[in-house]
Every structure is written in structure tokens, then in C-alpha cells.
Structure 1
Amino acid sequence: MPELCINTQKSIGSIELRVIGHGWGFDIERILVSSCLLGQPVRYNGTDKPNEHADVLTRWAREERLIPFCPEVAVGFPTPRPPAEIVGNTQSSHIRSQGKDVLSGDARVLEKSGADVTHLYLKAADKTVALARQHGCSHAVLTDGSPSCGSSFIYDGTFSGTGVPGMGTTATALCNAGIHVWSQAQIAKLDAMLRTSA
């Protein structure tokens, strides 16, 4: 397993943690994790996603639970890349689309320029599900707000920075495959559940 750099922002500043794991046996529950949560600068704007749970992520890495993955990078998106949001096929401003609508063909994923990248987001969702199954993942921790990885909210398709409740394409596909999806804000909750069931 490659070395993982896990970065987090706390009140005392930036903390970098390095942990090394070995092996991919299925004797412990695997967790698919967005690479940007592990300090990898793969987000659309070329950054990572700092979070407050580096201690938990470090322990999970030592326990060899982590499967890092970025759906967009896996299908060839560059970093940085234009922002993208889910846009419905209807003109009604009262209907906000989300990942399930993209999967059913009732919505698209558009970049801010208007470029339609739906096919790549669908491919990314399929690749993520396949990877999760390959490694026996029963849980995924994904970066919220993304049109791919959002699990409690996404943006409303107007590129105005307005968040709305909903799930992205990859998060929806994972749920449909029976994999439990958590946002980065729920890491502690997932950790408590795993420790209780251990």
C-alpha cells in the first residue's frame, strides 16, 4: 500500500500525519475514502479537503482499512478542472436534481462553461462501485458537496454557491450497491459504530 499523507486544519495550524499500511486482506471492514480527505490535492480547484478527524483516519490507516480513491481523477479529469454541478433536464427552478436523476437519465452534470460531462461522471460512479466491491468495502467516506461524492448536500446547478440537500452520482451509485455512504462530518460516528461492532 502506498504511503498516505493525511492533512488536517486545527486551531494550532496545519498538521501533517504520515502512516504506512501493508496488505489487503478482508479480515477487517474496508472503508473507501475520498483521496482529498487524505491530503491529496485532487479537488476541482487543485486542493485537498482539510478535516478535523486526522486521528481517526490515521488509526484506520494503521488498521489497514483505507481504500483511497478520487472518482473524477480515475476517469481522466485533470486537476485543477472546471467546477461542475448537476443540472436538471427541466427548466423549472422549483425542481432541484441530484445524483439519482443523473443515473436515471433525467439530469446532467455540466461544467460551469456549459460542457456536458455526464458520461464521465457515470463512468466514475461505475468505477468507484467496482473498486469498493473489489476490496470488500462496506462503507465509504466521501467529500460532501461534490456532484460526485456529495452525500448530504450538493450545489443547486446555478453555480451560485447555493447548497441543497441531495446526493451526488457516485454516492448514489454506492448506496444502490448496498455500500453505506458517510460524509466527512460523520467520520466520528462511523468510527464509533465500527469500534462497537468490533
Structure 2
Amino acid sequence: MPAKILVSACLMGHAVRYDGQSKPLLHPAIDRWRAEGRLVTICPEMSAGMPVPRPPAEIAAGAVGKDVLAGKARVVEIDGGDVTEGFIQAAENALSLARQADCRFALLIDGSPSCGSGFVYDGSFSGARHPGEGVTAALLLANGVEVYSDRQIEALVARIDELEGSQ
């Protein structure tokens, strides 16, 4: 059975980002995986009932997703609103869907306070970023899902080829 991949809805062209935009990831592997029925699409924030558009949010004080999950950090909007619980619910929804669909991998948009896997913004809303994962990426990783950013699609292709080529 081909490996399933949980994928950020914005990467699939859905206008679900905080600013009402998408960030379509155009790559031959996406087309192939879609045709093979491997892709399981989710916008974690929308699954938790967050609207589009919505105020930009960042993990406060230079923290990362695992800090939020441990209760040591908050996710805040640019206007000061605390959306931590929504982001935790979003992560739990994504993990639940990944489990239901038997997703071994996730392909997520980098930089997001939910989906970032290589970097997240530092909470200053200045564009400054630092290495780390968003809340959803951190929860997926903690539960054995291999997470790749949109910039790592070639590595994901190689990983799937490695696994399935050896079967």
C-alpha cells in the first residue's frame, strides 16, 4: 500500500492562509501522489474553526511548538489575542486525521506557527525567524509522523522511494 502524506491545504492551492491566500507547491511528485491517492489535505487552523482571513499569529517570545504543547509558551495574534488553545486543537485535529488516514509522512508549509518544520517566526511580528517547529509539526513529530517542509519535497520523494523501493 502506498505511503499516505498529510499535506498543508495551502500547498494544494486552497486559499486558507491567515491572509486568505494559498502557496501552491508545484512539483511533479505532487501530481503523481495526487493521482495515486496518497495526499490527505488539511489546514489545521481551519479544522479548529479559525476564520480566513485571520490576524497573523506567531509563537511568542522566540519559543517553538513543543514549548506550546508543554504549556510553556503561547501563540498570539499581532493584535495581542491569545490563540494558543486554537493552535493546540488544530494540532490535535491534524494528528487525528493523520492517524485515521494512516499517514506516515507530512508535507507542511514552513514558517507557520502550526505547520513550520524548519523555522518559525519569533513572536515579534518583525519577520525575524529562527529554527524550530510549529505546534502541529511538533505534535506530529512527537507521534512518529515524519515531517517535511515544502522546501524539502525532494528529500520526501527520496525517502518514499527508499521505503517503497525496498518492499
- Could you say which TM-score interval applies, normalised by the shorter chain? over 0.9
Q: How many residue pairs end up in the alignment? A: 164
Question: Which position in structure 2 is the counterpart of 1:49?
Answer: 23
1:127-138 correspondence to structure 2 within 5 Å: 127-138=93-104
Question: Which position in structure 2 is the counterpart of 1:77?
Answer: 50
Q: Distance in 2 between matches of 1:33 and 1:188?
A: 15
Q: Distance in 2 between matches of 1:195 and 1:62?
A: 16
Query: How far off is 1:52 after superposition?
Result: 4.3
Question: Which position in structure 2 is the counterpart of 1:28?
Answer: 2
Question: Which position in structure 2 is the counterpart of 1:14?
Answer: none
Q: Does 1:64 align with 2:37?
A: yes
Superposition TM-score, scaled by structure 1 size: 0.81
Higher RCO, Cα 8 Å, sep 6+: 2
Q: 1:160 aligns with which of 126, 143, 153?
A: 126
Which stretches in structure 2 are left out of the alignment for 5+ residues? none
Q: Distance in 1 between matches of 2:159 and 2:72?
A: 36
Question: Higher strand share goes to which structure?
Answer: 1
CA RMSD of aligned residues (A): 0.9
Question: Higher helix share goes to which structure?
Answer: 2
Q: Distance in 2 between matches of 1:145 and 1:113?
A: 19
* Higher-Rg member (1/2): 1
Q: 1:140 aligns with which of 89, 99, 106?
A: 106
Superposition TM-score, scaled by structure 2 size: 0.95
Preserved contact between residue 108 and residue 147 of structure 2 (Cα < 8 Å): yes
Q: Distance in 2 between matches of 1:168 and 1:196?
A: 27
Q: 1:87 aligns with which of 60, 84, 96?
A: 60
- Please list every run of at least 4 consecutive aligned residues from structure 1 whose deviation after the TM superposition is greater than 6 angstroms: none
Q: Distance in 2 between matches of 1:127 and 1:135?
A: 12
Query: How far off is 1:188 after superposition?
Result: 1.4
Q: Distance in 2 between matches of 1:192 and 1:164?
A: 26
